[in-house]
Chains A and B, each alone.
Chain A
Amino acid sequence: MLSLGGTAFFEGMKAKVIITPKRAVLDPQGKTVQTALEHMGCAGVREVRIGKYIEIEMDGDRETVEAQLSEYADKFLANPNIEDYRLVFED
C-alpha cells in the first residue's frame, strides 16, 4: 500500500463480484442441483440459487475502485433485468 496525498492507494486490490439470479427469475440450474442434493440425502435444503463469481484485481484507492466497479457491474458484469450483484473487497 502506498499513500498518495492522504488517499490509500492499493496495488492489486482484490474485489469480488457476486452475481445471483433475481428472486423472480427461474433458476433451472439451481432447481436441478437442489433436486440432486435431495436425492443424495442432503436434508433440509430449502432453496439453491446458482450465480456467478468474478474476481478482479485492481489498482487504485478503495473509493474510486468501488465506484468504478459499481458502474461496470451495472452496465456490463450483471444484467439488471435478471440479476442482482454485490461487491466484496478482500481486506
Chain B
Amino acid sequence: MKFAVLQFPGSNCDQDCVHVLRSVFGCPTELLWHKEYSVGDADAVFIPGGFSYGDYLRTGSIARFSPVMGAVKEFADNGGHVFGICNGFQILCEAGMLPGALIRNRSLQFRCEHVYLQTATHDSPFTGQIPEGKNLRIPIAHGEGNYFCDDETLQSLEANNQILFQYVDAEGDLTDHANPNGSLANIAGICNAKRNVAGMMPHPERAAEAALGSTDGRLIFESLIAALKPQSTLAPA
C-alpha cells in the first residue's frame, strides 16, 4: 500500500505525515512536490497541514490551483482516497472537493491545544476502525478552523452522515464550550458524498506515538489502511 503526501511552499506537517506513514505504519510513502502533474501509483493521497502560500488571500486559495491538485481531483473523481489535515482540509474546501469553508476562529485566537473529538459516523474509510464510544484526544493548531456552510449544505451533510468528527468536552458532551473555533455544529471533520475525500482540522499525525502524549490519531490512519486493503477474494480451487 503506497501513500503520497503533497508538499506545497509553506507546508509544514508534510514530514510528520511521512514519518507516521513510513515509520509507525511501515507504508511506502512519497513526498509529492506541488508542481507534479500526477499522483503516480499512490493508493491514497494526504494533503498535510501548514501555511501553503503564506495563507495569502484565503487559506488554501492559491494551493488549490497548483498543478498537483488537478491530478488529485482526477484521482478522487476516479474513486481514489484523499485525506486533508488542517491546511489540507482548507485546500480541499477551496478546491470544491469538500463543501463549505474554514473561516477565522470566532475568538480570533490561534488555538494550539489538545481537543476531544467524537466520531459522528463509523461508516467511512477514515473512521471505520475507531471503537464505538471512544472519543479521540488529538491536538489542533489553527487560526482559521471555523467550519462554515449554508443551511442547505449543513442539512445535506447531516442527512448523508458526512460529518466525521465533532468537538466534545473531556466528558464527551457536545457543548459550545468544547468548540475551539466556532465551527457550525462543532464540526471538526467531514467527508464528501462519495465518502472517499475527507478533511479535518485536528492533527492525527501529531497523536500517533506515545511520546507525543496521545496515540488516538493512529485510529484514523489504521481506518484508512484497513479500508484500502485488497478485499479478500475466493481462493482458487
Contact = CB atoms under 8 A, between A and B. Distances in A.
Asked if chains A and B come from one complex, the reply is: yes
B148 A79 contact: no
Interface residues of A, number: 13
Contacts of A24: 150
A81 B61 CA distance: 13
A79 B101 contact: yes
Given A79-B58, A81-B150, A28 B105 contact: yes
Contacts of A25: 103, 148
B94 interface: yes
Contacts of A64: none
Interface size range on B against A: 20 to 34
B108 A32 contact: yes
Contacts, number: 37
B101 A26 contact: no
Contacts of A76: 57, 61, 65
Interface in A1-55: 21, 24-26, 28-29, 32, 52
A88 interface: no
Interface in B61-80: 61, 65
B182 A26 contact: yes
Interface in B94-118: 94, 99-101, 103-108
A43 B149 CA distance: 33
A25 B103 CA distance: 9
B166 interface: no
A77 interface: yes
A41 to B, nearest CB: 23
Interface of A: 21, 24-26, 28-29, 32, 52, 76-77, 79, 81-82
12 contacts: A21-B103, A25-B148, A26-B182, A28-B107, A28-B108, A29-B104, A29-B108, A77-B57, A79-B58, A79-B101, A81-B148, A82-B101
| In the complex, the 8 A-B pairs of residues with the closest C-beta atoms, listed nearest first | A81-B101, A82-B101, A28-B108, A28-B106, A28-B104, A79-B101, A79-B58, A82-B103
